[in-house]
Amino acid sequence: MSYRIQVNPEAGSLLRTFAPHVVLRLGRALAELAEAIASGEDAEENELQVDDCVMRFVVDHAERLLRVVHVEQRGALAPAYASEATV
């Protein structure tokens, strides 16, 4: 049985400011992580790094849930893209 993925509202709002290709890469990495956890592997860390982004998560085995609690984009591209997204 697979794990569900839930993104907290604050993290979801931040994801909307990221470039689409970054969101796709994060989503793919998160899906692979959920699949690995469902197959019995343990998540050794509580964060996932893709390019210049960090996604923090918690795993609830009882609920079979992978919850994204925080997302952060580091680097010079983050402020520039965020301002373009709000225009």
Task: Tally the domains of the chain.
Answer: 1
Please check the confidence at residue 6 and state whether its pLDDT lies above 90: yes
pLDDT score for 76:
46
pLDDT at 45: 84
Contacts of residues 7-14 at CB distance under 8 Å and 24 or more positions apart, as own/partner, are 7/67, 7/68, 8/67, 8/68, 8/69, 8/70, 10/70, 11/55, 11/68, 11/69, 11/70, 11/71, 14/71, 14/72, 14/73
**Residues spanned by the domain of 39:** 4-85
Give this prediction's pTM: 0.77
Q: What is the CATH number of the domain that holds 32?
A: 3.30.2310.20
